[in-house]
């Protein structure tokens, strides 16, 4: 059997492989997503916060303290708050991303990059950014609703649709579902850096290798995501701040831009506040991206084998039909010959 190639799989097959890997990976580490979101939206207590209710607005000192506090206050279910919406968002976002990424990359390689050489790092980043922007336009409402669910107080938990309705009614109508779109579009550099770095590291560490082993894909995925997270953490924190409920000190007034969020954080917590939650963010990213790429590579091979099998079955069916047609033609010719011989006699 010839070497297996992803070129045998259409974009929608690669998109399913990527979204499946993302779904499984995020389900495994979802509690870290809750923790990093809560750490990123909290604001450091100020001396004048005497009236602040610690039960409704708790302050976590770190990842372990957050996990312990959530378990004590909300039980195990608290670590999985908003999980349904989050996984729907993860699956849809990654499906859209991988679909557009494989589409624009194939188009570039076929129409522009005709010398057979790997695409440059700049090209990989650009292709990833285009795919990320297209994916965000369609899927950001799910991210807004999920962030709201993850940061809802204990006694105000709501479902996906109820939370979406709350966003629409309490803010700028349906446009509230696209809150943080500008920050999200800027943040397309995160997956762009991630997958650009993944392709570059793959070319450097495993040149010419078509199919990676699971541990190799995990390692490359983890390394590339760590680089992207460190580079974009301030924007991640600002985006979460835009999509969550405003802090108590703003009296319900939502932020209007990610620059406003960043200025608020720097004013109240200093520049390092822009990197709060980076511990669970990186840990989650390492595990998710590692599992994602490991699963994606396996799923892509499954699709390659599936499409080969389907192509083989079609070829066998076509050959069978051609054989039947040839036999019918031969039988008809034989009848014609016999009839001609009888007529001649």
Q: Looking at 199-271, which runs of residues are DSSP E strands?
A: none
Judged against a pLDDT cut of 50, whether residue 4 lies above it is answered with: no
What radius of gyration, in Å, describes the C-alpha atoms of the chain? 27
- Angle, to 10 degrees, between the axis of helix 83-111 and the axis of helix 30-41? 100
321, 244 contact by CB (below 8 A):
no
Question: Which domain CATH number covers 131?
Answer: 1.50.40.10
3-state secondary structure string across 54-70 = CCCCCCCCCHHHHHHHH
Unique residue bearing structure tokens 């923790």:
35
User: Cα 203–208–212 angle (5° rounding)?
Assistant: 80
Question: In this structure, is residue 65 part of a structural domain?
Answer: yes
pTM score above 0.85: no
Number of domains in the chain: 1
Question: In this structure, is residue 292 part of a structural domain?
Answer: yes
Judged against a pLDDT cut of 70, whether residue 224 lies above it is answered with: yes
3-state secondary structure string across 23-49 = HHHHHHCHHHHHHHHHHHHCCCCCCCC
Q: What is the pLDDT of residues 48-58, one digit of tens each?
A: 554 455 555 67
Give the mean model confidence (pLDDT) for residues 61-83: 88
Classify residue 335 as left (phi > 0), alpha (psi -120 to 50) or beta. Answer: alpha
How confident is the model at residue 1, as a pLDDT? 44
Question: In this structure, is residue 331 part of a structural domain?
Answer: no
Question: In this structure, is residue 16 part of a structural domain?
Answer: yes
Mean pLDDT of the chain: 78
Question: In this structure, is residue 337 part of a structural domain?
Answer: no
CA dist 163 and 167 (Å) reads 6
Domain that holds residue 131: 6-308
How confident is the model at residue 51, as a pLDDT? 46
Question: In this structure, is residue 33 part of a structural domain?
Answer: yes
User: What are the b/e assignments for 176-197, b being 16+ CB within 10 Å?
Assistant: bbbbbbebbebbbbbbbbbbbb
Question: In this structure, is residue 156 part of a structural domain?
Answer: yes
Q: What is the pLDDT of residues 229-278, one digit of tens each?
A: 888 888 888 888 887 777 777 777 878 887 888 898 888 888 888 888 88
Which is more confident, 224 or 114? Answer: 224
Q: What is the pLDDT of residues 112-169, one digit of tens each?
A: 765 666 667 677 777 777 877 887 787 888 888 888 888 887 777 888 888 888 888 8
Question: In this structure, is residue 213 part of a structural domain?
Answer: yes
């Amino acid at each position: 059997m010839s070497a297996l190639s992803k070129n045998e799989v259409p974009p929608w097959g690669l998109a399913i492989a990527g979204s499946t890997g993302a779904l499984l990976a995020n389900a495994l580490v979802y509690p870290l997503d809750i923790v990093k979101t809560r750490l990123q939206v909290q604001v450091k207590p100020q001396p004048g916060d005497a009236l602040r209710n610690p039960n409704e607005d708790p302050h976590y000192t770190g990842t372990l303290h957050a996990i312990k506090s959530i378990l004590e206050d909300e039980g195990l279910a608290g670590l999985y708050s908003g999980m349904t919406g989050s996984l729907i968002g993860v699956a849809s976002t990654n499906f859209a991303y991988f679909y557009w990424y494989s589409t624009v990359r194939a188009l570039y390689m076929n129409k522009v990059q005709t010398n057979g050489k790997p695409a440059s790092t700049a090209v990989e980043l650009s292709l990833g950014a285009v795919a990320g922007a297209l994916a965000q336009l369609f899927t950001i409402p799910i991210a807004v609703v999920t962030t709201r669910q993850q940061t809802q107080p204990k006694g105000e938990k709501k479902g996906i649709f109820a939370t979406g309705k709350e966003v629409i009614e309490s803010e700028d109508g349906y446009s509230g579902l696209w809150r943080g779109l500008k920050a999200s579009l800027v943040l397309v550099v995160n997956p762009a850096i991630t997958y650009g770095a993944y392709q570059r590291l793959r070319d450097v560490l495993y040149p010419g290798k078509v199919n990676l082993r699971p541990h190799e894909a995990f390692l490359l995925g983890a390394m590339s995501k760590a680089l992207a997270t460190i580079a974009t953490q301030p924007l991640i924190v600002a985006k979460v701040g835009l999509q969550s409920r405003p802090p108590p000190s703003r009296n319900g007034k939502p932020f209007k831009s990610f620059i406003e969020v960043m200025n608020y954080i720097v004013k109240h917590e200093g520049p390092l506040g822009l990197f709060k939650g980076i511990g669970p963010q990186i840990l989650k990213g390492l595990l998710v991206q590692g599992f994602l790429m490991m699963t994606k590579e396996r799923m892509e091979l499954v699709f390659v084998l599936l499409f080969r099998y389907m192509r083989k079955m079609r070829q066998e069916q076509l050959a069978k039909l051609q054989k039947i047609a040839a036999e019918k033609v031969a039988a008809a010719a034989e009848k014609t010959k016999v009839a001609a011989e009888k007529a001649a006699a």
